[in-house]
Amino acid sequence: MITPHTTITELLALLDRWVALGWLRPLDRALAGFFAEQDDQAESVVLLASALASHQLGHGHVCLDLAATLAAPDFALSLPPEGEEGLADAWLPSVQLAGLTLAHWTRALAASALVAAGGETDRPLVLHGERLYLRRYWNYEQGVARALAARIGDDRAVPDGLSGWLARLFPEPLLLNGERQTDWQKLACALAASSGFTLITGGPGTGKTTTVVRLLALLQGTAEQPLRIRLAAPTGKAAARLTESIGAQVASLPVNDEVRARIPVEVSTLHRLLGSLPDSRHFRHHAGNPLPLDVLVVDEASMIDLEMMHSLLAALPAHARLLLLGDKDQLASVEAGALLGDLCRHAERGLYQPERLAWLEAVSGEQVAHSALVAGEPGRNALAQRILMLRYSRRFAGGSGIGRLAEAVNRQQPEEARRHLAGGDEVATVRLKGEQDGALNRLLSDGRGQALGYGHYLSTLRDERPAVGTAYGDGAWHDWAKGVLAAFDQFRLLCAVRRGPWGVEGLNERIAGLLHRRGLLEGKEGWYEGRPVLVTRNDYGLGLMNGDIGIALRLPEEDGRPVLRVAFPRNDGSGELRFVLPSRLSEVETVFAMTVHKSQGSEFAHTAMILPEALNPVLTKELLYTGITRARHWFTLLEPRRGVFEQAIARRVERRSGLLESLQG
């Protein structure tokens, strides 16, 4: 157990033990060892804090929150990792840290030569209140806070004729059951038209894309010079999805062709926008070489991590408008930082200044009314004036089971959520009896009712294959591959965890085996036709990004010989495919089942989510909400044990960062 008297040798032995258990990364342990060499006076609790701060980065936290760590060590540090409950209890942080007090820990850190506690710039660790940062992440957080603060203060001249434009772009009053409702989309447009920085948050189908397309029309239509507008998203998949939805929206805008032609319909990834440099965390665009644009829209902003946000803000010219779109209730990025969640912490309550609200009402002709709204305090809540939450989902309007289930989970109402799970065709739950449960196998291959399973894409693969003898280069191969990829997106199994019987790894093996047994797949190991794969690492040479999904298909070579190649969508809005030989793909894994984290930015007509048998650190209401909202038409919850769903609803992600505090000064 760690106490103020623990020696460095004892501490490093504990860290070694945690590494051996797979609880800490070798990198986290190495950092503590490095600091021990740098400072022979270092106290063991300082070295411990450095290893834990590094460990927390691997779990998405920008810093180590000392108080939260001591209050609930195992939960705060996400230990033991999923699937290892009950093992090695003596090594749990709750046991090992029991002898440490917050007062002693912060005092030791503040006194350490390794730690900047009063603005020193040459120390590798930074203590701010009860939060300990590795220097690089402190710099990112401060950089982002400074850049955002400048943009939050950036009021723009109100475009000429704003009211008229709003009336033209939003011609119909929003009616719900015959009653007039506040049109938050129109308000978001008014808010964004008068700001250099706007954040629009809303659940699935609340109209974020529609709003931004209309806003872009308004900005182009009222600009003196044509504006250079760029659209981006954190992943290729999210970019492709936005590209798809934006095209139709632009086509139906009530504006003249000149304005319409100036609204881009292509969406790139943030990496491509910034110009990623191979094998480097740096980009071609930065403060010294800013992006050549006037307006930047970033969708799926919940997936932007702190480092990316730092790079993005640095590369954005001061005059450019920035619009962030996203769903604040979704899981944050896997990397450190939960920016959207941090920035939107008060979005439900609005916190608009009375004069700002009065202006918004006057210019839009809307009445701002919602029971959750609270007025902002005079001279405060500057950030809140730039944020608008869309509150009405058109996709999940009225009686939608998926919408109601997602909302109940988001509001942490387990009983209500359970009621929605019981009702109807759209949403269903299946109680599993074991790993080889017949109902599970049927669902995976055949789906349920109209909701499809994996058998669907495999029958597309088999039945729509071009006739024998169709030549290499014939467009029929391309169309077939596109059809198979689209059919695969009709259904996906999502898992909360990677390990254990209900984790991605085991399930992928079992599903391949199942489909093989049923004669739907020719193989179940290695490369076989129909194998769906997920790219797990960016490969700039091949133009594949982490998260891209492809399917192995047999196509003819130039000489007619059939060869297995993996078809990937290009994800650049072109609708084109790229075919890659399996031998060139080293960082891929089979993806019948995928984690909820990896599914962010994607949607499937039928989404099934399987929970593990016991609660573990990753199970939170955000994870459930993100999984449920991946479903477009049908959602199925698979439960090996009753009760885990309810327990997960009761827990929230608590990402540690000081961004909001820094912004509010």
Ligand X SMILES: Nc1ncnc2c1ncn2[C@@H]1O[C@H](COP(=O)(O)OP(=O)(O)OP(=O)(O)O)[C@@H](O)[C@H]1O
Binding-site members for ATP are: 202-209
* Cβ at position 209, least distance to ligand X in Å: 3
Closer to ligand X by Cβ: residue 202 or 401: 202
Instruction: Figure out which of the listed residues 209, 508, 607, 657 binds ligand X, where binding follows CB under 6 A.
Output: 209
Question: CA angle 580-583-586, nearest 5°?
Answer: 95
3-state secondary structure 91-139: HCHHHHCCCCCHHHHHHHHHHCCCEECCCCCCCCEEEECCEEEEHHHHH
Please answer whether residues 69 and 77 qualify as being in contact, where contact means their C-beta atoms are separated by less than 8 angstroms.
Answer: yes
Residue 185 binds to ligand X (criterion: CB under 6 A): yes
3-state DSSP call for residue 494? Answer: strand
Please answer whether residues 54 and 68 qualify as being in contact, where contact means their C-beta atoms are separated by less than 8 angstroms.
Answer: no
d(CA 355, CA 473): 63
Closer to ligand X by Cβ: residue 343 or 514: 343
Which amino acid appears at position 83 of this protein?
A: G
Token pair belonging to 504 = 């991605």
* Cβ at position 366, least distance to ligand X in Å: 12
* Cβ at position 625, least distance to ligand X in Å: 13
Q: Which stretch binds ligand X (CB under 6 A): 96-104, 128-136, 203-211, 350-358?
A: 203-211
Please answer whether residues 64 and 93 qualify as being in contact, where contact means their C-beta atoms are separated by less than 8 angstroms.
Answer: no
Residue 168 binds to ligand X (criterion: CB under 6 A): no
Residue 204 binds to ligand X (criterion: CB under 6 A): yes
> How many residues at the interface with ligand X, by CB under 6 A?
12
Residue 208 binds to ligand X (criterion: CB under 6 A): yes
Instruction: Figure out which of the listed residues 60, 83, 93, 205 binds ligand X, where binding follows CB under 6 A.
Output: 205
Residue 181 binds to ligand X (criterion: CB under 6 A): no
Q: Which stretch binds ligand X (CB under 6 A): 120-128, 202-210, 487-495, 551-559?
A: 202-210
What residues contact residue 76 under an 8 Å CB cut-off, 6+ apart?
65, 68, 69, 93
Instruction: Figure out which of the listed residues 104, 123, 286, 395 binds ligand X, where binding follows CB under 6 A.
Output: 395
Residue 245 binds to ligand X (criterion: CB under 6 A): yes
Closer to ligand X by Cβ: residue 252 or 586: 252
Token pair belonging to 451 = 């909701």
* Cβ at position 452, least distance to ligand X in Å: 20
Angle between helices 401-410 and 414-422 (to 10 degrees): 160
What residues contact residue 592 under an 8 Å CB cut-off, 6+ apart?
444, 454, 493, 507, 508, 511, 512, 515, 532
d(CA 390, CA 568): 34
Closer to ligand X by Cβ: residue 185 or 333: 185
Residue 391 binds to ligand X (criterion: CB under 6 A): no
* Cβ at position 204, least distance to ligand X in Å: 4
Residue 44 binds to ligand X (criterion: CB under 6 A): no
Q: Which stretch binds ligand X (CB under 6 A): 205-213, 310-318, 489-497, 509-517?
A: 205-213
Angle between helices 354-364 and 184-193 (to 10 degrees): 110
Residue 207 binds to ligand X (criterion: CB under 6 A): yes
Residue 657 binds to ligand X (criterion: CB under 6 A): no
Residue 394 binds to ligand X (criterion: CB under 6 A): yes
Residue 206 binds to ligand X (criterion: CB under 6 A): yes
Residue 210 binds to ligand X (criterion: CB under 6 A): yes
What DSSP string describes 318-336?
TT-EEEEEE-TTS---SSS
Residue 330 binds to ligand X (criterion: CB under 6 A): no
Closer to ligand X by Cβ: residue 210 or 276: 210
Closer to ligand X by Cβ: residue 206 or 243: 206
What DSSP string describes 267-280?
EEEHHHHHTBPTTS
Closer to ligand X by Cβ: residue 327 or 529: 327
318 CB-contact burial (10 Å; exposed 0-12 / middle 13-18 / buried 19+): exposed
Closer to ligand X by Cβ: residue 204 or 612: 204
- How many CB atoms sit inside 10 A of residue 508's CB? 20
Question: Site residues (CB under 6 A) for ligand X?
Answer: 185, 202, 204-210, 245, 394-395
